[in-house]
Structure 1
């Protein structure tokens, strides 16, 4: 029976975020191995969940689940953490299959593609180089997030690479299964994948780059049609991860053809042309938080809510830390006369004080600006504790469906009539279960002010007739020119049409 090793060592690193990822951050999010990985991921819309489902329908293969881990986006991964996790992965690969056959027939890695590690120029390439040194010529398949920063040397180390096609990311399991299908065909000698990548030499803002609507939906449809028409194995638009300040950051297109490099080249060039066509339309005018709140309040007062006001600059899914004060300050300044919720702040100390005070207790708080004052000073207020939870949910929406999230202890605070959610652990808020946990019926509120981005829309578009993206200072700010880039090539400038 052929053996395949399956592993995951993923992270998305924001060069402008102050908190670095340590081993605890990996242990506290996705962390499983062996049969535990099968039970942890089974039924989830994740890459490893997709792999579990795939091999349950391919019993002729024996999968072995090595360490599978992913830390929620943040600043860089510390070098010690990376080396420890990579050493475990390499040791597992070097040990070979449990049946003692001595060699793997294939290896699959479910990655992200925008990992930043202290002291390493291109961590994803480094990881693949060291994996290849251990596995030799064993066929290697890799799946990436569409926000990966891709280079040709990466592709040259792999037999097949497949990226997400959907933003919001609702095709993670599907992506893994396509990658595995092609990898097994490669092992059987049925295909000879040839991969080509070409960079766009541009940073693209992701706030208006959903594949469900708008200009990027047009580009995604073009790539889908072109790939099918040309008989390609895979054609992926990688929007890139702009907040990883590295020389290889930026959008790119990757095509795989069956033994035909020229066909892959043609597909890449045609799709790059489509990206250039829609590029300027990706940049949009965004109101400030004050203007966005005023607009939302007007809509909610007319009974046309609920309205979501979205601050993407402090979105943990983009590596930010749910710690900037700008949106909360705008909410309080607006003095909303409709039920309003603010989600959320990552503030373990305030959660601990709320727990100590208990339901109905009052505490003095200073929210935002806890980690750095670069994006504004804290908002001080007196708050009443209205709810405490254990922070545990299982996602029911399309993003990471079926995956358990643990926010640690959480608290709901009443500040001047606004419900403000505080968490002990910094994770994204993308699922209805989060609000169910906190006793919040979104259909009965007027405004939700939230640190979120496009993944939020996957589950909530039907809940909020209006969503207003606002431009607020933060480590994942829409305005790239406001961030201290040092290593992105000058060819990527100007960042915006206005610059």
Structure 2
């Protein structure tokens, strides 16, 4: 009979944009994901998330006796308030204290910052190690865009990151960590981690794993892992909008005691640096891209021709408030139907719900939070539809996860359809279309504040997709941002 394992699990997942003026509060965590115990596992079952991976693993390993402590995440905004982080950290540490654990698994993002700590997740890792002592195994999973602090190797024993972007392997990343922990228990050995930081900060725009430099690196890492019998090889790009000393490319190897990871790390670090230039992107402005997109739509391209404003992508810490792309779409001389997603404006959503479907409505869109990224745009239209903002993803990105966008409304402004919402969340799953009564094939142009995650669910149902570079807190031109900790040599 297999010996029982007493394992604690906790999750604290957040990606902070240093240039987003909206701080992340405890309420942001409580609204997006706030669970523990059997409830957390039940809600995550059959989802493509870390906790979904845990639930699947436990169904195959009944000898694991798991205690699920606080599990939470918040949408990417500005730095997390110190009080919010302390509340979550202290609850996790209290749950760990005074217990005899065989191991602990933490699901972290790796690019959180707080008001006073540029590396809070690693502060948490060290605190967890202090509480549980030196004996229990400590495993951790990270987002591909983690800004990896070298100190994690002193606290954690095994780790893995997402190997895909869009991140459709969140559950698999958790499974990799849990499998490594189980193998360590069975072999009665203690694995270790080798981490190498690199002196450049690649743009996530060029980090998709369907093809390109990161796809090639992931394949090299998988081949090296298999050939050398390593526990895991993961590549990280850092999150370029978290201004920290650890914002840079990195690679990480989890290995077994008899192995020397040095040659593999050297070889893969060289392969990463050799591809540095391939991560660079050059994007057209909205002023140039919108007329070109309209020409393509009129010339027979599949509808909708899609324009992606990555500089205001909520999953890059965007504010859902910039207006450059929207303004250019309104300005083109065409009556072809267009769709814009989205503006974050709770007050305007409340007005639309109060007025009701079919009612006239006017006001301004955007420029509410940071008018330096585009003045507000006056509008006059009608309320076409209102929703409660709730749906379940149908994947592949975060498949099965329940989404709460807050209330939303659909406005009609001439030939333009605009979606507004109570929270700063974009469309990253086709179920968003169902919620809003949208058939994308009916729109010539589709403007969206998004980036690569959008492609996972929408690439098959959209026509040509073009990213554009607009003013915002997450631009492709990193020289526009006032970095304090990321040297210009990392991105020039």
Structure 1, gaps ≥5 residues long? 97-102
Where 1:240 maps in the other structure, the secondary structure is coil
Find 1:66's aligned residue among 50, 66, 69: 69
- Alignment map for 1:53-452 (pairs within 5 Å): 53-96=56-99, 103-137=100-134, 138-260=136-258, 262=260, 264-305=261-302, 306-452=304-450
Distance 2:279 2:391 in 1: 34
Where 1:374 maps in the other structure, the secondary structure is helix
**1:408, CA displacement in angstroms?**
1.0
C-alpha contact 2:15 2:76 (8 A) present in aligned 1: yes
Distance 1:266 1:345 in 2: 49
Please give the root-mean-square deviation of Cα atoms over the aligned residues, in Å. 1.3
**Hey, what does 2:8 align to over in structure 1?**
5
Structure 2, gaps ≥5 residues long? none
**1:215, CA displacement in angstroms?**
2.4
C-alpha contact 1:255 1:265 (8 A) present in aligned 2: no
C-alpha contact 2:119 2:149 (8 A) present in aligned 1: no
**Hey, what does 1:25 align to over in structure 2?**
28
**1:191, CA displacement in angstroms?**
4.1
**1:335, CA displacement in angstroms?**
3.9
Distance 2:262 2:150 in 1: 12
Matched, 1:479 2:482: no
Q: Deviations over 1:284-324 (max 9, x none)?
A: 22100121111111111123122110001101101112111
C-alpha contact 2:22 2:78 (8 A) present in aligned 1: yes
Task: Single out whichever of 3-12 and 332-341 deviates more from structure 2.
Answer: 332-341
Distance 1:261 1:76 in 2: 39
C-alpha contact 2:147 2:246 (8 A) present in aligned 1: yes
Distance 1:182 1:220 in 2: 19
Where 2:85 maps in the other structure, the secondary structure is helix
**1:151, CA displacement in angstroms?**
2.5
Task: Single out whichever of 395-404 and 270-279 deviates more from structure 2.
Answer: 270-279
Q: Deviations over 1:434-457 (max 9, x none)?
A: 011000011222111000000111
Where 2:181 maps in the other structure, the secondary structure is helix
Superposition TM-score, scaled by structure 2 size: 0.96
**1:63, CA displacement in angstroms?**
1.0
Distance 1:22 1:355 in 2: 26
C-alpha contact 2:143 2:161 (8 A) present in aligned 1: yes
C-alpha contact 1:340 1:445 (8 A) present in aligned 2: yes
Superposition TM-score, scaled by structure 1 size: 0.95
Q: Deviations over 1:322-360 (max 9, x none)?
A: 111111111111244322100011110110111122111
Go from structure 1 to structure 2 and tell me whether the alpha carbon gap of 1:468 and 1:233 turns closer, same or farther (over 3 Å shift).
same
**Hey, what does 2:54 align to over in structure 1?**
51
Where 1:465 maps in the other structure, the secondary structure is coil
C-alpha contact 1:391 1:407 (8 A) present in aligned 2: yes
Q: Deviations over 1:150-185 (max 9, x none)?
A: 122112210101111101101000110110010122
Task: Single out whichever of 26-35 and 274-283 deviates more from structure 2.
Answer: 274-283
**1:260, CA displacement in angstroms?**
4.5
